Amino acid sequence: MTSTESKNNQNQNNWRGLIIWILIALLLRWQVVEPRWIPSGSMIPTLEIQDRILIEKITPRINHKLNKYLNLNSIVIFKPPKILTQAGYSDGSALIKRVVGLPGDTIEVKNGKLYRNEKEINEPWIKEPIQYEMEAVNVPDYSLWVLGDNRNNSLDSHIWGPLPEKNLIGTALARYWPLKKIGPIRFP
């Protein structure tokens, strides 16, 4: 084999390796972990406007197939439910909220507090009392009840109802921007 042929083979191998790494990166991006940014103040104080987060996309898919549900207080990213797309939201947009009710739970807001199954829920991330009332609602099967942490300024289940589990994109994993807040997403 001549040195020119050897260089050509090496270049081909380098290109193959690069293409494989690009395909792996794209697969991870589309199927496993995805970067997102926070466009609104509905999750303040936990997440601020313009925070950058990573979302994990496998758990909702596995849980959906196994008929299991996410943990209460998980922060989820999801496609808008049908009622919002009919009102003008883009089907390709994504929203972020906290899971406060699972199928079978009864959710209610009264006297500025959230109640799940008639028990007041302690939510240390809420900075001010809820300024609306919500009659008791039973969360249907294959659905979640989601609310923003900034309860008085959030377009969430108290307005549009249960979130179909099939709309889930992923769960919030970590914040990577701003640098001073880098790390796992924790309650304030």
For residue 157, the SS3 value is helix
From the list 42, 74, 154, 157, the catalytic residue is: 42
CA distance 122 to 120: 7
Residue 63 DSSP SS3: helix
Q: How far apart are CA 52 and CA 36, in angstroms?
A: 6
Catalytic-residue membership of 97: yes
Tens of each residue's pLDDT in the chain, 188 residues: 566 655 555 656 666 766 666 665 555 555 567 888 888 889 999 988 999 999 988 876 666 654 566 789 999 999 999 988 898 888 888 899 999 999 999 999 999 999 999 999 999 989 889 999 999 999 999 999 999 999 999 999 999 999 999 999 999 988 988 888 888 886 54
For residue 34, the model assigns a pLDDT of: 83
Note the pTM of the prediction, 2 decimals.
0.79
Rounded Cα–Cα distance for residues 92 and 78 (Å): 10
Burial class of residue 46 (count of CB atoms within 10 Å of its CB; 0-12, 13-18, 19+): buried
Q: What is the largest CA-CA distance in the chain?
A: 83
* 35: helix, strand or coil: strand
**42 a catalytic residue:** yes
Contact 133, 109 (CB under 8 A): yes
Which secondary-structure segment (H or E) carries 29?
Answer: helix 3-31
Which residues fall within 8 angstroms of residue 103, CB to CB, at 6 or more apart?
Answer: 69, 139, 140, 141, 142, 143, 144
Catalytic residue among 97, 143, 154, 157: 97
* pLDDT (0 to 100) of residue 188: 47
